[in-house]
Amino acid sequence: MTGHQPRSGGFAILVSFLIGLMLIILPLPGWAQDFRPEWVALILLYWSLALPERVGVGVGWLAGLFQDALLGTLLGQHALAFALIAFLALRLHQHLRLVPVWQQAIVVLGLLTVAQLVVFWVNGIIGRPAPDWQAWAAIPVGAAIWPLIFFILRGVRRRFRVQ
pLDDT digits (tens, 9 = 90+) for 51-92: 999 999 999 999 999 999 999 999 999 999 999 999 999 999
Q: Quote the CA–CA distance of 90 and 86 in Å, as a whole number.
A: 6
Q: Is the whole-model pTM more than 0.85?
A: yes
Report the pLDDT value the prediction gives residue 6, as an integer from 0 to 100: 62
Report the pLDDT value the prediction gives residue 1, as an integer from 0 to 100: 43
pLDDT digits (tens, 9 = 90+) for 87-131: 999 999 999 999 999 999 999 999 999 999 999 999 999 998 877
Structurally, at CATH architecture level, domain 10-159 sits in: Orthogonal Bundle (1.10)
Nearest to 160 by CA among 20, 47, 39, 62: 47
Where are the chain's structural domains?
10-159
Number of Cβ atoms within 10 Å of the Cβ of 147: 15
pLDDT at position 142 over 80: yes
Q: Grade residue 145 by pLDDT with cuts at 50, 70 and 90.
A: very high
